[in-house]
Amino acid sequence: MFVATLVAQTALGQGDIDEARDRVAAAGADVTGSTVLEPGKAADIFFTGEAKAVRAALQALPGAIDVIVQRQAAREKKLLVADMDSTMITIECIDELADYAGIKPQIAEVTERAMRGELDFAEALKARVALLAGLDEAMIERCRAERVRIMPGAKALIQTLRARGCHTVLVSGGFTRFAEPVGKEIGFHKVVANVLDIACGALSGTVQFPIVDSARKKTELEQGLVQLALDPGQSIAIGDGANDIPMIEAAGLGVAYHAKEKTRAAADAEIRHGDLSALLYAAGIVRTGWVES
């Protein structure tokens, strides 16, 4: 049995739900029922059949509606692994840090290409960090205070799932000086990120090894499953860039969040219109059950 969760950015009417049911049936699946999770916002459609075909049919719905299709029995996850930049926060930290060095366009172009999967992530990271050599260490904290903003829905998602027994890991190809305070503010159990080398109060232009790359992100997911004695189906991974693809493919539910094309193609589900709270509806948790400090 599968469940397709519809989450509207603006409004979800009964006509939208009826059309979605028709599309599920047209995709060759058997609709077994539907329910409104939150009036005007979210609904579930239950079915048996081919999940990929149903997902494709529902993603063609008109309007700003996100669709998450998954097995009904494992919709509430027990392990969550998430990217940070442009996923749990609204910016790419290295790009904003580069702005304080006066070289944001130069670095942002490389970041964009790396996130699209056009460049090796580790080599691109080393090259960008090298350009920051000599930047005053104080600019890290200034950048974090002035530029870092938590992604809408992030606190509700992590804190609600954590309260319900889900282990949460923030794993970032960015830097600990940003990721650790972000992880603490949002409420993650564990934070993994790269360490910038600093000497005499300035960035050295290097990063400590091993670099947190796509392989490390996947490893964090796999180790979490082993440590918690979980089936892969009980896990969810969320990211936006090409370096998130391995962990997205390894998770029970891999989610592309406002993501690059390669990441969208690799994911089981994607959030294109709304914020991270859409994943709470996907877990079957309505707003009255959300936790957020």
Tell me which residues are annotated as active site: 83, 85
Taking the C-alpha atoms of residue 263 and residue 270, their distance in angstroms, rounded to an integer, is: 9
What single-letter DSSP state applies at residue 253?
E
Residue at token pair 């691109």: 124
Own/partner contacts of 221-228, CB < 8 Å, gap of 24 or more, are: 221/79, 221/81, 221/169, 221/247, 221/250, 221/251, 222/250, 224/79, 224/81, 224/167, 224/169, 225/79, 228/78, 228/79, 228/167
Tell me the three state secondary structure of residue 235. strand
Distance of CA 134 to the CA centre of its chain: 32
Taking the C-alpha atoms of residue 184 and residue 189, their distance in angstroms, rounded to an integer, is: 8
Distance of CA 270 to the CA centre of its chain: 9
Distance of CA 286 to the CA centre of its chain: 20
Phi/psi of residue 114, nearest 5 degrees:
-65, -40
Taking the C-alpha atoms of residue 54 and residue 193, their distance in angstroms, rounded to an integer, is: 37
Asked whether 180 and 212 are in contact (CB, 8 A), the reply is: no
Strands (E), the chain: 2-12, 30-38, 40-48, 65-71, 79-82, 167-175, 190-194, 196-199, 202-207, 235-239, 253-257, 269-271
